[in-house]
Amino acid sequence: MKYVVPRVSYFVAEIEDTLVGYAKLKRKSRQKGVTGDNPIELCRLYNFQEFIGKGVGKALLLKCLEFAGKNRHDTIWLGVWEDNTSAINFYRKFGFEKCGEHVFRLGENPQTNWLTQLMQRSVDNFNEDVIVTQKRYL
Ligand SMILES: CC(C)(COP(=O)(O)OP(=O)(O)OC[C@H]1O[C@@H](n2cnc3c(N)ncnc32)[C@H](O)[C@@H]1OP(=O)(O)O)[C@@H](O)C(=O)NCCC(=O)NCCS
């Protein structure tokens, strides 16, 4: 039987059995500006407020990079609101670079997402208290 990798994959982060954050990846997804033969989108990366700055985002991102590598995705990309400076700086720290922009409407107002991408690389050292596992559904 052939194993088919689902289009969407979820990862949850837990510390001592408490859910502290999650990530969502989507295959076969691309926007203008994204390069690579087989990109994968990081659609969501969120921590609960009280777990920001504790290594959870990094642990989740590393798991996403590992998943992308194992499944032969040469690029991982995401859209981030241009005013979300904190997230932009977080992604920049791991080597994500701006590759385009996407304008969307929030009510009457046009808003801009930056598209940023990272070609595959490895990152080390993360908080070993954070356990990240893949879930079929979230
Ligand atoms: C963005 C987010 C996922 C980052 O996760 P986090 O758990 O706070 O980040 P971590 O504690 O894992 O930090 C990992 C590294 O990035 C650095 N970092 C984290 N936030 C940073 C920032 N705003 N600017 C620069 N560096 C930052 C840390 O110093 C740390 O560096 P180190 O490995 O050298 O110690 C998290 O803050 C979050 O959920 N924010 C709200 C939701 C959001 O904006 N999501 C992104 C939507 S696109």
Ligand 1 close to Cβ of residue 85 (< 6 A):
no
> What pLDDT tens digit does each residue of the chain (138 aa) get?
666 778 999 999 999 999 999 999 999 999 999 999 999 999 999 999 999 999 999 999 999 999 998 898 999 999 999 999 999 999 999 999 999 999 999 999 999 999 999 986 544 545 567 788 777 666
* Global pTM value: 0.89
Contact 27, 40 (CB under 8 A): yes
pLDDT at residue 22 in the model: 98
DSSP state for residue 120 in the 8-state scheme: S
Helix (H) or strand (E) holding 56: helix 56-70
Q: Does the beta carbon of 58 lie inside 6 Å of ligand 1?
A: yes
Separation of 55 CA from ligand 1 center, angstroms?
Answer: 7
| C-alpha pair distances (Å), 106 with each of 88, 102, 115 | 20, 13, 17
3 is catalytic: no
The span from the CA of 23 to the CA of 42, in Å, is 7
What is d(CA 3, CA 19) in angstroms, rounded to the nearest whole number?
29
79 Cβ below 6 A of ligand 1: no
Is the domain covering 8-137 a CATH 1.10.540.10 domain? no
Domain boundaries, the chain: 8-137
Write the DSSP symbol of residue 17: T
CB 13 within 8 A of CB 41: no
Q: Is there an atom of ligand 1 within 6 Å of 54 CB? A: yes
- Residue having the nearest C-alpha atom to atom 10 of ligand 1: 55
